[in-house]
Structure formats: structure tokens, C-alpha cells
Amino acid sequence: MEASSPSAPRGGPIASAPVWVLAALPLALIAAAFAAFALLGGPGLDDRRGPPVEELAVERTVLRPGEIELTLRNTGPDPVSVAQVAVADAYVSFEAEPGGEIGRLEEQKLTLDYPWQEGSPYAVFLLTSTGATIDHEIDAAVETPEAGAGFFGLMAVLGTYVGVIPVLLGMLFLPLLRSVADRWIQLFLALTIGLLAFLALDGYLEGTEIGAASGGAFGGVELLFLGAALAFLALTAVDRKLKSGLERQRDSGASAFRLSLMVAIGIGLHNLGEGLAIGSAYAVGSLALGAFLVIGFALHNTTEGLAIVAPLAKGGRPPVSRLLLLGVVAGAPAILGAVIGASVYNQELATLLIGVGVGAIIQVIAQLLPSIRDSQGRALHPLSIAGIVAGALIMYATGLLISV
């Protein structure tokens, strides 16, 4: 049998072409096919029968003295033109910017001339040029605060008070954790998993509710899963990078700090979603900024500080600067979330960001599981189960103190 030459190309002359040619050729053919389809006017796409499908979503409502501003987005396949607007069964004059039809996924702002009364609910009806109606409810009319230095300062103070400060207070449990036996450290780590699992479930339920209520122009509940997947994969990549660095430079307490940092990042992304809820509720006047609410958030988020320092109990003594860094990473996103929620709140953006928080927490739970295994390699044993259940119950109990 004649031996084949090692330099002979296999697969013909096409397989021996440069890699960039092999990649560019199918892409060029795909582009040519789509271009030909477009030049021919999309044959067969104009044969759709039946009445036009008109769908509008009200993405934002802004109330000023004597007027109501609605931000509309066309979530349907056909152009929509708003012909008339009624508030509380009375037709009102309005201005549209830009005027004319609203194309697929396009946005239009309607400014309604209406003397609304503070605290009163209103039903808004949009009548399109074809006679279709779109309903929108304003639960309680409250003037939308103007964005300014004082407004953003208030959001920063609020986010600090319910995010950063409680987390730092919870981290004060570190000396206690460092003085107990290893068996109790394992219990506290399981407690951390229970805390995080409750946060993930809470974020999932909140995200599905917000996503289902969105207009769906850019996706609804699926944005929750997209954000979760992106966060999980991104944090996994970050964790791999941190691990490789630790293998080259392993100092006392470094591995424990890495795990605490991952916990802080996961909690921080969750607090971003929490800040969104606070800011958006404040913008529409549905958040009672009372002492009871502040205490409720403080107790709820203090347990998150405990979750952050639990992995540090076995390592070396971390410097204060690192502890402050962990507290800021976990709590500061609540400030950003409050600003976004109060100024440019969007249900689909909120769904995506809440999904990011959920995915980050799931990834952190996966990081913590090896730390609670017993001598037989079991992650679920009586001690760990007790800790997980206790953590979930603590979050549930403190969550009852929060009234939004």
C-alpha cells in the first residue's frame, strides 16, 4: 500500500484555503441571499390578510401640574396612530412628539392637557385611527420629581442607608465568627447559602412579575433568564481568573477573600435590583419613606453582611480596607439602582438587571457548596441543612418588616 504524503492536502483545494477565506465565503453568500430578498421586496410578505395588529405599551408615566406625559412604544407588527385620548371617560387634547404614525418598536411621547388631582386614580384610554383601544391605569396620581442635584442626592442617601450601612453593620459579626469552632463556621457558611438562595428566589419572583407586566417590545420574562445566564457565565470567568492568580501567589487569607468577594458581588447585583424597586416606587409616590420601612430594610440587609464575612472566618486577619471594599461592593449598587429606578426606570431593563442579580447569586452558591461538605463529601447533611433552612427563614422573617 502506497503511503500518503504528509504534505498532501486533505479535503480538496477548498479545505486548503486560508481560514479567513473559509469564514468570509459563507458570510458573503448569506449576505447576498438577504440582499436579493430585500431587492425583490420580500416576496410573499405582503400577502397577510385580516385587520392590522395594533399594540402599544406605556413604558413611562410622568405627571406634572396640569399635564400627563405618556411614553408609548409600538410592540406590534403594524404602524399605529393615536387619534384620541380619554382620561376618566373625558376626551382631552394632547400633543404627540414625534407626530404621525408610530412604527414597529418606535417611541412616541404624548403630553395630555389634564388637571389631575393628587392621590386620585385615573384610567387612560388611547383610541387608534382604526378604532382599537389601549388602556392604561394610573393607580395614584403624584407629581413626578424633577431630576436634579437634590433629587440624586436624596437617592444616594437612601441607597446608602438601606444598602451600604446595613451590610457594613452585618460584617461586624466577623470577630464572633473567628472565635468559634470550625464546625460552627461550616454552619454559618450553610446559613449564607440559605440567605443567598432566598434572595435568588425573591429576585426570580420579582423579575417574572415585572417582565410579565412589560410591553414585551424587547422581550419580557426571557430577559430575566438572559441576564441570569450572562451573569453566571461572567462571574464564572472572573472566578477562574482569580483562582489562576491565587495559584501563582497564594498568601494567607487570599482564597477566603476571593470567596467573600464573590459573595459581595452577588449580593451587590441583587441590591442593584432592590435599588431599582426603591427608586421607581419613590418616583410614582408609592413608597412610604417612614422609619419602619428603613428599619425593615436595615435588618434585612444586615444579614447580607454576615454572609459576606462568613468565608473569612477561617482565613488570616484581613485588613480593614479590604472589609470596607467588600461592604461597598455589596451595598453601593443599591445607590445606582435607586438613581436608575427613579429617573429612567424601564420594566424590561429592570427585568434584565434583576436576572443579572439572580445569576450572580446562583454562581456564588455554587462556589460556597464545597465549603459545607462533611468528611464523607456530602453537601447536604444535618448541620448544613439546618444552616440553609435557618438562613432562608431569617431572610423571610426580616423581609416581613419591609412594606413597599
pLDDT in tens, 247-263: 544 444 457 788 888 88
Q: Of the candidates 194, 232, 228, 233, which has an alpha carbon nearest to the alpha carbon of residue 208?
A: 228
pLDDT beyond 50 at 292:
no
Instruction: For 169-223, list the strands marked E by DSSP.
Output: none
Confidence band, pLDDT 50/70/90 cuts, at residue 291: very low
Listing DSSP states for 70-103 in one string gives EEEEE-SSS-B-EEEEEETTEEE-EEEES-S-B-
Q: For residue 63, what is its C-alpha cell? A: 405627571
**Residues 92-109: what's their mean pLDDT?**
90
State the pLDDT at residue 293.
46
Q: Which grid cell sits at 15?
A: 479545505
Instruction: Please check whether residue 281 is in contact with residue 293, taking contact to mean a CB–CB distance below 8 angstroms.
Output: no
pLDDT score recorded for residue 386: 92
Amino acid at site 142: V
**Average pLDDT over every residue of 283-297:** 50
> Taking all residues of the chain, what is their mean pLDDT, rounded to a whole number?
80
CA distances from 261 to 131, 322, 325, 332 (A): 56, 9, 9, 14
Instruction: Report the pLDDT averaged over residues 213-234.
Output: 83
User: Which bin fits 66, alpha (ψ -120 to 50), beta or left (φ > 0)?
Assistant: left
CATH architecture label of 56-138? Sandwich (2.60)
Place of cell 464573590: 262
Whole-angstrom distance, CA of residue 277 vs CA of residue 133 = 30
pLDDT of residue 271: 81
pLDDT above 90 covers a percentage of the chain that reads: 13
Single out the residue of 106, 404, 347, 60 nearest to residue 221, CA to CA: 347
Q: Which helix (H) or strand (E) holds 219?
A: none
Question: Does the pLDDT value for residue 237 go beyond 60?
Answer: yes
Residue 114 is predicted with a pLDDT of 94
Q: Would you place residue 295 in the very low, low, confident or very high pLDDT band (cuts 50, 70, 90)? A: low
At residue 146, the pLDDT reads: 73
pLDDT at 348 over 50: yes
pLDDT digits (tens, 9 = 90+) for 305-338: 888 888 887 766 788 888 999 999 999 998 888 8
50 — pLDDT class (breaks 50, 70, 90): low
More confident residue, 191 or 316: 191
Mean pLDDT calculated for residue range 175-202: 84
**279 and 343 Cβ atoms separated by less than 8 Å:** yes
Question: What is the reported pTM?
Answer: 0.66
Strands 67-74 and 90-92: unpaired
